[in-house]
Amino acid sequence: MGPFDGGVFDKRLQGGRAGAQLTVDAHGVHASTTAGDTFDVPARDCQLELGGASGRMWFCRTPDRQLTIYSEARGFAEALASLPNLSQPVAELRRHRRAESRRGVLFLLAALGMLIALGIAGYFGLDYAGRAAIEALPREADERIGRLAINSMDLGGPTVHDKTVTDAVNAIVARLAEHAPGDFEYQVRVLDAETVNAFALPGGQIVVYTGLIAKAEALDEVAGVLAHEIAHVTQRHGLQRIAQSLGVAGSLELLLGDLGGLSAIAVELMRAGALTSYGRDQEREADEQGVLTMHASGLDADGIARFFQKLQKEQDEMEIPEIFAWMSSHPDLDERIANVRAQIDSLGPVAEQPLEIDWDAVRRAVGPDAEAAGSAAEADATEKAPEQNADSKAGSKAKRRKR
């Protein structure tokens, strides 16, 4: 059979090798080089090997290895296999080669899998490291960022000094703080603005707008909102937001303890209104923690669900008015109401210890006729006017209103 393109190794050749045309017959393998030399390996002497750069080259060697005839031409292996004493070695070598290439493929797949796993582990590892770094930061970091933030913000309304209102809100926060995890110190500000909003900054700065107080029919509703906001503080959601936007380099910086960069980022986020707009998971967590705090404080945790319902109803009834800011970043109210109620059911009955606050008086104090009634907010009324006229601030307000 043949001819096949191939070659010969032999000392007698110049350079020890030459290309050759091969034929295979019953006597063995024959090669003739272009120069006219001929070589033969008898079939009974032929020792087979499979290899070469391609892994598909067949070598037929004499027992003393002085002469080798080789080829990887198509059909050469079949021709060798047709010789009685070579059919078995050919089959064996082929089996061996197949097993080896299977091993190679498996190794390659394993290596690729490992690379992918390393990539994923690296990604999540950094994410985790960022979170861990946040956990490890002292409480002062939260406080510093909170102070920085509140001082660089346009809060959108004058501070209310009416003791009826501030005492009530302070009492609620004090009760909740007592039963909330962590030992943050809370500073509450009540601001006179129609927006139905409240927000918390890292470290315990809490801002409540009179619009929210006026909207709540019962103390427990406001308490529920405040418990939710306090949960954002205790779970350190603000710093987590910062960690998320830090990226890899920032996380590393944080791990090395560079708080200066952190503050700069906090202020940037503040400008973009991102520090107080939390992710859905964070909202869910704050809801849960808020319910737990309310429950532990002996307050009616259903207040938060009722407040959600109120917002839901208003939302359904009108084209989302600007003043309902507190829910604009709180989507899926139905789902959240259901979650809160399910959690309350699982907690069992609450030993209620209501706060001694005349809520109707508080609401009257922030009501539309509060100024006419001669409340202490009067002093701020003059500041209020330019604030409300400042259309140019509408953009920044809308962002902040995300709570």
Nearest approach, Cβ of 7 to another protein (angstroms)? 5
| Cα–Cα separations (whole angstroms), residue 270 to 137, 149, 152, 263 | 20, 6, 8, 10
Under 8 Å between Cβ of 212 and 226: no
What is the C-alpha radius of gyration for the chain, rounded to an integer number of angstroms? 40
Kindly list the residues in this chain that would bind another protein in the complex (CB under 8 A): 5-7, 9, 15, 17-21, 33-35, 49, 51-55, 57, 59, 68, 70, 104, 108
Nearest approach, Cβ of 91 to another protein (angstroms)? 20
Nearest approach, Cβ of 79 to another protein (angstroms)? 18
Walk across the sheet containing 198-201 and list its strands. Answer: 187-191, 205-209, 198-201
* Beta-bridge partners for 30: 23, 40
Nearest approach, Cβ of 53 to another protein (angstroms)? 4
Nearest approach, Cβ of 6 to another protein (angstroms)? 8
The nearer residue to another protein, 70 or 209, going by C-beta atoms, is 70
Nearest approach, Cβ of 214 to another protein (angstroms)? 58
The nearer residue to another protein, 80 or 214, going by C-beta atoms, is 80
**CA-to-CA distance for 62 and 49, rounded, in angstroms?**
11
Angle at alpha carbon of residue 269, lines to 400 and 233, rounded to 5°? 75
Give the type of residue at 15: G
What region, left, alpha or beta, does residue 62 occupy, with left being phi > 0 and alpha being psi -120 to 50 degrees?
beta
**How many residues belong to the chain?**
403
The nearer residue to another protein, 34 or 389, going by C-beta atoms, is 34
The nearer residue to another protein, 33 or 159, going by C-beta atoms, is 33
**CA-to-CA distance for 80 and 47, rounded, in angstroms?**
11
DSSP string, 200-260: EETTTEEEEEHHHHHH-SSHHHHHHHHHHHHHHHHTTHHHHHHHHHHHHHHHHHHHTT-HH
Phi, psi dihedrals of residue 51, rounded to the nearest 5°: 180, -130
The nearer residue to another protein, 70 or 326, going by C-beta atoms, is 70
The rounded Cα 363 to chain-centroid distance in angstroms is 42
The nearer residue to another protein, 36 or 386, going by C-beta atoms, is 36
The nearer residue to another protein, 59 or 199, going by C-beta atoms, is 59
Nearest approach, Cβ of 37 to another protein (angstroms)? 11
The nearer residue to another protein, 50 or 305, going by C-beta atoms, is 50
Nearest approach, Cβ of 55 to another protein (angstroms)? 7
Nearest approach, Cβ of 112 to another protein (angstroms)? 10
Side-chain half-sphere CA neighbours of 76 within 13 A: 25
The nearer residue to another protein, 80 or 208, going by C-beta atoms, is 80
E strand intervals along 43-100 = 47-51, 57-61, 67-71
**CA-to-CA distance for 403 and 400, rounded, in angstroms?**
6
